[in-house]
Amino acid sequence: MEYHRTRDILHVMQMLGHRNIKNTLIYTQLIQHEEDDEYVCRAATTVEQASKPIEARFEYVCDINGVKLFKKKEVNGNCWGFI
């Protein structure tokens, strides 16, 4: 996150205590990759509704006003395994 705020790789390297710039480059590439990921979201208000995304390997995210939210990473614009 710091790299995206400052765009200063040497600052981030020092902040993380890395001795090798390659480690810092890996860190910044991982962060950038995660921001580019797209997710499909499912919501459930009942146990029956919640069972479908769980069976399809969606990840539980949180509960808002009694609605449970699930997410699953899209693969090639497709959310595999969910009906």
Residue 78 lies inside a defined structural domain of this protein: no
Residue 52: per-residue pLDDT: 93
Residue 81 lies inside a defined structural domain of this protein: no
Instruction: Provide the number of structural domains found in the chain.
Output: 2
| Residue-range definition of the domain harbouring residue 45 | 39-73
Check whether residue 25 and residue 45 sit in a common domain. Answer: no
- The average pLDDT across 52-68 equals 89
Output the six-digit token pair for 16: 């993380």
Residue 83: per-residue pLDDT: 40
Check whether residue 48 and residue 65 sit in a common domain. Answer: yes
In eight-state DSSP terms, residue 8 is -
**What are the φ and ψ backbone dihedral angles of 70, each rounded to 5 degrees?**
-130, 150
Residue 79 lies inside a defined structural domain of this protein: no
Residue 82: per-residue pLDDT: 44
- What does the CA dihedral 32, 36, 38, 44 come to, rounded to 10 degrees? 40
Residue 8 has pLDDT above 60, yes or no: yes
**What are the φ and ψ backbone dihedral angles of 59, each rounded to 5 degrees?**
-100, 130
Check whether residue 52 and residue 67 sit in a common domain. Answer: yes
Residue 71: per-residue pLDDT: 87
Q: Do residues 51 and 57 make contact, with C-beta atoms less than 8 angstroms apart?
A: no
pLDDT tens-digit map of 14-56: 888 989 888 887 777 655 544 556 788 899 999 999 999 999 9
pTM listed for this prediction: 0.50
Give residue for tokens 């590439």: 29
Residue 46 lies inside a defined structural domain of this protein: yes
